[in-house]
Each structure stands twice: as structure tokens, then as C-alpha cells.
Amino acid sequence: NAGVTQTPKFQVLKTGQSMTLQCAQDMNHEYMSWYRQDPGMGLRLIHYSVGAGITDQGEVPNGYNVSRSTTEDFPLRLLSAAPSQTSVYFCASSPLGGARWGTGELFFGEGSRLTVL
């Protein structure tokens, strides 16, 4: 049972380069999300999705794009990387509970450490 799988685990980019962080889950969860973790800041929500074809912005969406073409996959795209995007990124999923944004119990991937030079 793989759970939530993120790739790559580590990446170094130069300013202005683009890249995609991949996230896949095999639990048939409707809700998927991306967080970034910075020292002293906790986890901050970047984007989230409540189902295929539906995405929305979180707390810190600028500089990031997402799409959700399938239930399983939720890639995060950096179109033009900046040093301020150096961070650890987490993908997380959850089943939806009625009208709620999930049960709150998120299942996390192992994280991707991104460094932008």
C-alpha cells in the first residue's frame, strides 16, 4: 500500500527554471493538497483540490500552478523558480466528508526538498 508518493525527493534549480513536483495517491481520496514547510513558519497551504477538475488557492499560491486531471494525481508546477521558493514541499490527501473539506486527517507524502539558487 503506497499511500501518497511524491517525486522527486530532492531537487536543485536555478532561478527562472521551471519544474513539476509530482504527487500520486492510491487511496481514492477526493481531497488533495500541497503545503510548503519553512523554518519557524509551520506548514502553509499552497493549493488544494476536492476532486478531478477542481482546484483552488490556499494561503500562499503565488508562483505555483496545479491541475487535477485524475483522482490519483495532483502535480505542483513552478513556472519560474525563485530563491523564495526554496522549501520543503508536502503533498497530502484526505477523504471528503460531506460538505466538509475532508475529515482533517491528512495522509502525507515524504516531502520534497527544493533548493533554488
Partner 1 sequence: AQTVTQSQPEMSVQEAETVTLSCTYDTSESNYYLFWYKQPPSRQMILVIRQEAYKQQNATENRFSVNFQKAAKSFSLKISDSQLGDTAMYFCAVQGGSEKLVFGKGTKLTVNP
**What residues line the site for partner 1 (CB under 8 A)?**
33, 35, 40-45, 48, 58, 88, 90, 92, 99-106, 108, 110-111
- In the complex with partner 1, the residue whose CB is nearer, 16 or 95, is 95
- In the complex with partner 1, the residue whose CB is nearer, 9 or 12, is 9
* Amino acid (one-letter) located at 69: S
> At its nearest, how many Å lie between partner 1 and the CB of residue 107?
8
**CA-wise closest residue to 94 among 86, 104, 85:** 104
3-state secondary structure of 117: coil
Q: What share of the chain is helix, strand, coil (3-state, %, to 5)?
A: 5, 50, 45
- In the complex with partner 1, the residue whose CB is nearer, 14 or 39, is 39
